[in-house]
Amino acid sequence: MLRDITLGQYYPADSVIHKLDPRVKLFGTMLYIISLFCFRGIVALLAATVFLFAVIRLSKVPFRFMVKGLRTIMILMLITAVFNLFLTPGEELVSFWKLKITAEGLKNAIVMAVRLTYLILGTSVMTLTTTPNQLTDGLEKALAPLSKIGVPVHAIAMMMSIALRFIPILIEETDKIMKAQMARGADFETGNLIAKVKNMIPLLVPLFVSAFRRADDLAMAMEARCYHGGSGRTKMKPLRYQKRDGLAYLTVTAYLGVVLVCRWFLPWPM
Amino acid sequence: MDAWGRGTVICMSIIRARQLVHEYIRRDEEGNVESISTALDHVDLDVKQGDFIAILGHNGSGKSTLAKHINALLTPSEGTLYVDGMDTSAEENIFPVRQAAGMVFQNPDNQIIASVVEEDVGFGPENIGVPTEEIWRRVEESLAAVGMTKYRHHSPNKLSGGQKQRVAIAGVVAMQPKCIVLDEPTAMLDPNGRADVIRTAHELNREKGVTIILITHYMEEVVDADKVFVMDSGKVVMQGTPRQIFSQVGKLKEYRLDVPQVTILADLLRQSGINIPIGVLTRQELVEAVLRAAQIS
């Protein structure tokens, strides 16, 4: 059961989007999110739709993988929509009992739902086409300027990649400890919530002890291999921008430009 | 020329310990000394460049502490330790020492840092600032040296214990060390993995001239070493060739060490009056000795 957990739901495929520099994807996603929160008007919505579906098409990731991510936020989306629908003051459309649906409320609910859907779809394009390692590499390089003001960027990136390396190991260990404790009569399944949490103690204590021991060992192994932080370190796989990365930046910026123009200069109803 | 083309190497001690002492000091909450345990007790040790050395000892004999000293993970409480001519207690020597003497640890899972084999091998060279093209060259060479090139794009989690340990060795080899310390590298492996790791160590020693210091308590792994040191309660109590060491079966038992089964059998046969020379190490030797004894009588 524990083996089913997958982290960073990378979908391997050979596409332009997969080959892009992770920094492009990070910044691109950021710009895309900004565009979602400031679009106004039907033309901008059209632009966002075209952009999103073009990228999904290019990424060669099946659409159903994208939609998977939506399921988890369905409830959040429903709640947001319902609140928007009933609680926005304005011109009344329908009313029954104490609730009334206003024109503004209806509009807000739809816009909000579209925004959230596009947000999840857009960000899953990034996580589905980038391996966790590329992502940490990209983060490290992209945030490098922050290290000048004392943010330990390299250390954070290193921590993230080590965490990714150890998640499967710790999962396996949890499985092992669980079986060992079950063999001694531990019960992880029955009882109410409080009993279940209490029953977790014989699992968590050994797991933590072993995690600390591993951390200690790993720190020593890293030191033995001359690790001394990010200074003076070279990279085996350095990130270098290619031509396609420049093009991608241009495309995203152009798209954001269109959305902004629509917001300011096209007084379309919506 | 040594394997990395660094010019002539004069036959000299790569490791030289003089009256080396290490004390683990336990303190209570106020910082007062609670107890002192001496892990290394005035150790004198010389290792010649290019040798294959084995260090034996039961648990708590101080052999792992010695290993950590060679890598400058610990520094001497008293005495001196020179690695490749560098004093390990000098702050500025730490990284050159760690580069000259690489280390492989017991648990294969806890020493692999990256999630892809080739990236892990590149970790050491990255740390010492080797240029990118050179890293790739070294990674390829090291993976080939331990026979793991096929697995370069794999995740370490998918490898067997012996394979992981060979990846760890490749990670050290990529730093082009003069000496590799293997601290019980086979303790957590199955017999096949164990044989693979020991064979790899011998190949590195033969083909690249890397000095190997193998710390172990499996006697079978020691038989092919050039020199054996036996440690007990922080002291080096015996040293010599495997033949010299294993001929003293009684003394080894005193230090709670096993002797290869073949040697025990040879010893028992000799005691019961069959003419077999002392210090038989391999099955082949025993067979020959028994045949010879049979012909004479």
Domain boundaries, chain A: 8-144+240-265, 153-224
- pLDDT band, residue B81 (cuts 50/70/90): very high
Distances (CA, A) of A232 to B109, B241, B265: 27, 43, 57
Residue A270 confidence class, pLDDT cut points 50, 70, 90? low
Q: A237: which chain B residues are within 8 Å (Cβ-Cβ)?
A: 119
- Could you read off the pLDDT of A174-218 as tens digits, one per residue? 999 999 988 988 888 877 888 888 888 888 999 999 999 999 999
Contact between B114 and B123 under an 8 Å Cβ cutoff? The reply is yes
Binning pLDDT at 50, 70 and 90, where does residue B139 land? very high
Facing A233 at nearest CB: one of B103, B114, B127: B127
Specify the pLDDT at position A214: 93
Tell me the per-residue pLDDT of A100-146, one tens digit each, with 9 for 90 and over.
788 888 888 888 888 888 988 888 888 888 887 788 888 888 888 88
Are the C-beta atoms of B162 and B190 separated by less than 8 Å? yes
Radius of gyration over every alpha carbon of chain B, rounded to an integer in angstroms = 21
Please report the number of interchain residue pairs, chain A to chain B, with beta-carbon separation below 8 angstroms.
Answer: 89
CA-nearest residue to A217 within chain B is B110
Q: What is the ipTM of this complex?
A: 0.84
pLDDT digit string, tens, across residues A27-46: 999 999 999 888 777 888 88
B11: left (phi over 0), alpha (psi -120 to 50) or beta: beta
Tokens of B63: 């052999």
Single out the residue of B102, B97, B144 nearest to residue B123, CA to CA.
B102
Element (H, E) at A81: helix A74-87
Query: For the ranges A92-96, B206-210, B220-224, B262-266, which has the lowest average pLDDT?
Result: A92-96
Q: Which residue has the tokens 């400058």?
A: B72
Show residues of chain B in contact with A235, CB under 8 Å: 126, 132
Residues A139, A142, A147, A149: what is their CA dihedral angle, to the nearest 10 degrees? -120
Q: Give yes or no for residue B60 having a pLDDT over 60.
A: yes
Helices (H), A130-200: 132-142, 153-183, 193-199
pLDDT digits (tens, 9 = 90+) for B177-204: 999 999 999 988 888 899 999 999 999 9
3-class state of residue B76 by DSSP: coil
Please give the CATH number for the structural domain made up of B13-241: 3.40.50.300
CB contact under 8 A, B112 and A165: yes
CA distances from residue B105 to A210, B98, B112, B147, B171 in whole angstroms, order as listed:
17, 14, 10, 19, 12
Beta bridge partners of B211: B179
State the DSSP code for A257.
Answer: H
Interface membership of B12 toward A (CB under 8 Å): no
Cα Rg of chain A, angstroms: 24
- For residue A220 the two structure tokens come to 């020593």
Among the listed residues B17, B216, B94, B137, the one whose alpha carbon sits nearest the alpha carbon of residue A225:
B94
Name the one residue in this structure whose structure tokens are 């739809």. Answer: A110
For the cut 70, the answer to whether the pLDDT of residue A6 exceeds it is: no
Q: Are B217 and B257 in contact (CB under 8 A)?
A: yes
Contacts of A220 in chain B (CB under 8 A): 68, 73, 105
Query: CA B173 to CA A83: how far, in whole Å?
Result: 63
H or E stretch at B104: strand B101-104
Residues A132, A133, A137, CA angle at the centre, nearest 5°?
Answer: 120
Q: pTM for the complete prediction? A: 0.80
